[in-house]
Structure 1
Amino acid sequence: MRVLAAMSGGVDSAVAAARAAEAGHDVTGVHLALARNPQTYRSGARGCCTLEDSRDARRAADVIGIPFYVWDMADRFHEDVVDDFVAEYAAGRTPNPCLRCNEKIKFAAVLDRAVALGFDAVVTGHHARLGPDGLLRRSVDLPKDQSYVLAVLRRDQLDRSIFPLGDSTKAQVRAEAAERGLAVAQKPDSHDICFIADGDTRRFLAERLGEAPGDIVEAETGAVLGQHAGAYAYTVGQRRGLALKNPAADGRPRYVLSITPTTNTVTVGPASALDVSEVVGDRPVWTGGPLPDGPIECEVQLRAHGEGVPATVELVDDRLRASLHRPARGIAAGQAIVAYAGDAVLGSATIV
């Protein structure tokens, strides 16, 4: 097959491209320039999309022996991922930008362009598997598994995707990179949010949304316990940084229970009030076989790297509804709910 390998400049995508070439595919490497100011998007292991990353990707392509190009998608990334991230926080939700990037950039804009140019599939370094049955499955390296952030992909997108690393651990990938002579073998993984290089999400949002003072109130009594400079700086389940002036009567810590943009209010309460037994998501994507015509038993994952929770799931009125068999705590709107049967992804939706 003629395939396009998305090369970020990291070790995973480099080894994925090398494996695809070794498997006999006609591979072309492409680096996505996603930053409008690429010099500022990496600080050590934080961030991505720097000129350094582009050069690392090019050097890897040279070692592998494949053609290499850079595609400028900075404006598309800013509109579909960065602007969406800011808007979601302004609306009181907690988005996962990796989900949006996979959905809107890597497997929409890139895949669409690749197909238009005559490529059969896109290769990425995600730690996930596509089984013989075509189902998206967890990586064998569970701590590195990325099936959760890929669960937004449609069936037609998965059919044109190749994930060569799903049967390997990260340690094995690094060892293989060293054996292949790839200079990125020991390059640190990027983490946190790639477009917030210093990791200060509150500052990033404040610069774009400005200060918006409001009340922090107690759920049980409605009493005002403190002030905030912007509700966007808080997320459900947060404990630190609340700066409340009155301690709880029982001396126990309080947590953010909800955020209400219409009143610019952050509501706090005890940890027990974070428990939820039902989760509803909109914009469902179902890739695990035929759409269910009734409730099914499965597991759901409610945040990146979160544990699976047994649940009864059904699709009702274009929404995915999960009744949890045990309460889950600190579930935030804007995250994804992903349904699994064993290690196979059944479907996903955005938590509302």
Structure 2
Amino acid sequence: MTAKGRIVVAMSGGVDSSATAALLKEQGWDVVGVTLQLYDHGQAVCRPNTCCAGKDIHDARTVADVLGIPHYVMDMESTFHADVVDKFAESYIRGETPIPCVLCNQTVKFRDLFSIARDLGADALATGHYVQRQDGANGAIMLKGADPGRDQSYFLFSTTREQLEFLRFPLGGFLSKDETRAIAARYNLPVAAKRDSQDICFVPDGDYAGLVQRLKPGAIRPGAIVHVEDGRELGRHQGIIHYTIGQRKGLGLGGGDPLYVIRLEAEKAQVVVGPREALGRSRITVRGVNWLGDGDGADFVCQVRVRSTRPPMPARVRLDGQGGGLVMLDMPEQGVAPGQACVFYDGDRVLGGGWIVGAD
């Protein structure tokens, strides 16, 4: 054991996690690399632009060899399929817009990796996420990443207090990806110039609807596209899984004023469309709330982000103490979709968040 203790690094085979391992070794930690295999070997090989694929496992092992650290590959295929892939498909069928990366962090990457790290005698678990952790008066707190363009706090809102105490995010204070690549280059790591993963790892071709059709072939129903104002039928669709809230292109409705998907009604198999102004929502209902702020968080003013690509907006939040809550925005927000997360911020501090179940 070193003076700093043992730390497990979640190594995906990309430059971020590889640089994390190198940086922690440089700081004097006893580093152990762990890679999660999320697909069987035949499916995993040669998947471009994803993480946790066959080439990525090879890259992680090569990096570990260069750094001279032990490296383990853990088969999490069945757990990943049950906790992430199946739930992704079920969410789409309900007319939601899921975020599988949050589910993956919440289950396979944190819940299960925590157990693995403790079994390996680790004092901490580190990832390459761009988010910051600090020790506060009442325990560890989470902050946005220093680089606004790479901040990943939205995807980590469900991290529990216990997990946050155990976690480390060495890259969170970096101001650019160039700093990360410089660390990898300094150690002559073969992934120093590797491209970032772009797609959802289990949908490398971007065809979400095709995946859902393969997993849930009997659950997709055709239906009507109707106008939000009077319910008149404007066209037909082959399944609500082909649409998301705020979508404009690909509706197949011909000319006229621009129309957007306002909501998806799974029980009626209807896609409801209307003008852009009909997208505005001022009240959001959330469930599965994870609270990371001080006190009980019953009633507070903050900023909220309703999608990873949207800026935080001022709001008032009232939590019911049972995992649910109501978010009241100061100004209407567009693109609010069930299945997405509503994350609470106090400036740079992450106060927690919940899953969006409805909005009006």
TM-score by length of 1: 0.95
Alpha carbons 1:205, 1:233 under 8 Å: kept:
no
Specify the SS of the correspondent of 2:250. coil
Structure 2 match to 1:5: 9
The residue identity in structure 1 corresponding to 2:68 is G
How far residue 256 of structure 1 moved from its aligned partner, in angstroms, is 0.6
Q: How many residues of Structure 1 are paired with residues of Structure 2 in the alignment?
A: 346
Specify the SS of the correspondent of 2:307. coil
Structure 2 match to 1:311: 315
Residue among 200, 208, 217 paired with 1:193: 200
Structure 2 match to 1:172: 179
Structure 2 match to 1:119: 122
Structure 1 match to 2:190: 183
The residue identity in structure 2 corresponding to 1:149 is F
Structure 2 match to 1:289: 294
How far residue 38 of structure 1 moved from its aligned partner, in angstroms, is 5.3
- Mean Cα displacement is larger for which, 259-268 or 108-117? 108-117
- Mean Cα displacement is larger for which, 159-168 or 109-118? 109-118
Alignment of 1:84-233 (within 5 A): 84-133=87-136, 134-168=140-174, 169-210=176-217, 211-233=220-242
CA distance in 2, matches of 1:173, 1:84: 33
Percent identity for Structure 1 against Structure 2: 42
Structure 2 match to 1:274: 279
How far residue 144 of structure 1 moved from its aligned partner, in angstroms, is 0.8
Residue among 76, 79, 83 paired with 2:79: 76
How far residue 72 of structure 1 moved from its aligned partner, in angstroms, is 0.5
How far residue 118 of structure 1 moved from its aligned partner, in angstroms, is 2.2
Alpha carbons 1:41, 1:49 under 8 Å: kept:
no
The residue identity in structure 2 corresponding to 1:88 is S
Specify the SS of the correspondent of 1:176. helix
User: What is the CA deviation profile of residues 265-306 of structure 1, one whole-angstrom value per residue up to 9, with x for unaligned ones?
Assistant: 11111110000011111011001222124x211100111132
User: What is the CA deviation profile of residues 317-337 of structure 1, one whole-angstrom value per residue up to 9, with x for unaligned ones?
Assistant: 531221111110011001111
The residue identity in structure 2 corresponding to 1:190 is S
CA distance in 2, matches of 1:70, 1:196: 22
**Please, which runs of 5 or more residues in structure 2 have no aligned partner?**
none
TM-score by length of 2: 0.92
The residue identity in structure 1 corresponding to 2:171 is L
Alpha carbons 2:44, 2:55 under 8 Å: kept:
no
How far residue 42 of structure 1 moved from its aligned partner, in angstroms, is 5.4
CA distance in 2, matches of 1:41, 1:202: 23
Specify the SS of the correspondent of 2:336. coil
Matched, 1:331 2:340: no
User: What is the CA deviation profile of residues 243-281 of structure 1, one whole-angstrom value per residue up to 9, with x for unaligned ones?
Assistant: 125x4xxx3211111111111111111110000011111
The residue identity in structure 2 corresponding to 1:275 is G
CA distance in 1, matches of 2:315, 2:46: 39
Alignment of 1:236-251 (within 5 A): 236-244=245-253, 247=255, 251=256
CA distance in 1, matches of 2:8, 2:242: 39
- Mean Cα displacement is larger for which, 100-109 or 130-139? 130-139
CA distance in 2, matches of 1:39, 1:48: 13
Matched, 1:252 2:261: no
Specify the SS of the correspondent of 1:303. coil
Matched, 1:32 2:41: no
CA distance in 2, matches of 1:313, 1:33: 39
CA distance in 2, matches of 1:252, 1:131: 50
Structure 2 match to 1:341: 346
Structure 2 match to 1:67: 70
CA distance in 2, matches of 1:55, 1:278: 47
How far residue 185 of structure 1 moved from its aligned partner, in angstroms, is 0.7
CA distance in 2, matches of 1:327, 1:280: 14
User: What is the CA deviation profile of residues 227-253 of structure 1, one whole-angstrom value per residue up to 9, with x for unaligned ones?
Assistant: 1111111111111111125x4xxx321
CA distance in 1, matches of 2:239, 2:180: 42
RMSD: 1.5
Specify the SS of the correspondent of 1:47. coil
The residue identity in structure 2 corresponding to 1:62 is D
Specify the SS of the correspondent of 2:112. helix
Alpha carbons 1:4, 1:114 under 8 Å: kept:
yes
How far residue 35 of structure 1 moved from its aligned partner, in angstroms, is 1.4
Alpha carbons 1:236, 1:258 under 8 Å: kept:
yes
